[in-house]
């Protein structure tokens, strides 16, 4: 079954491999364990509220935590916060646990933790719970116009 995220990537000519797993709980740790992809190569997609400046998607390695203060500083904001579930689902068109940066219902700024850009292949959500896409992070950068930032704790 194809998802909006997969169709977006196909339309952009971006290669990817689909990995499906039995989704029993949300989170990169479970996805990593279920697929055998190392946690540091499994991306979690977080929706962050930038206040008056809108929202952004932050792509983080599964084994790292987002440092909200560092993210705010990088974008010269006083404060940023995690978006609530309802807002995240409304902005992306995906269910939490299946949020992908590809094919969101609204265009959003995408930020990638800098360590991900140095990995050869990563696993990222494919737009549905239980679906990961294996791909080159440089392709993610190219199709999302990502900003690379040191935002991990």
Q: What is the pLDDT of residue 25?
A: 79
Pairwise CA distance, residues 55 & 88, whole Å: 9
Q: Supply the pTM of this predicted model.
A: 0.95
Q: Two tokens at 135?
A: 């791909």
CB 41 within 8 Å of CB 61: yes
Pairwise CA distance, residues 31 & 97, whole Å: 10
CATH number of the domain where residue 122 is located:
3.90.960.10
Total domains present in the chain? 1
- The model's pLDDT over 72-130, given as tens digits with 9 standing for 90+, comes to 999 999 999 999 999 999 999 999 999 999 999 999 999 999 999 999 999 999 999 99
Q: For a pLDDT cut of 70, what percent of the chain falls above it?
A: 100
What is the full DSSP assignment across 1-32? ---HHHHHHHHTT---EEEE----S-SHHHHH
Range of the domain at 60: 4-149
Q: What is the pLDDT of residue 144?
A: 95
């Amino acid at each position: 079954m194809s998802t909006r995220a997969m169709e977006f990537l196909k339309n952009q000519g971006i290669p990817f491999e689909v990995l499906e797993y039995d989704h029993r709980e949300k989170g990169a740790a479970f996805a990593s364990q279920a697929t055998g992809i190392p946690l540091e190569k499994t991306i979690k997609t977080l929706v962050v509220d930038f206040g008056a400046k809108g929202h952004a998607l932050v792509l983080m390695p599964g084994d790292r935590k987002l440092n909200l203060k560092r993210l705010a500083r990088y974008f010269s904001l006083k404060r940023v916060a995690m978006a609530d579930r309802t807002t995240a689902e409304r902005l992306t068109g995906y269910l939490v646990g299946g949020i992908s940066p590809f094919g969101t219902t609204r265009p959003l700024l995408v930020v990638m933790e800098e360590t991900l850009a140095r990995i050869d292949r990563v696993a990222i959500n494919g737009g549905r719970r239980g679906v990961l896409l294996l791909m080159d992070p440089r392709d993610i950068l190219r199709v999302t116009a990502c900003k690379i930032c040191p935002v991990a704790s």
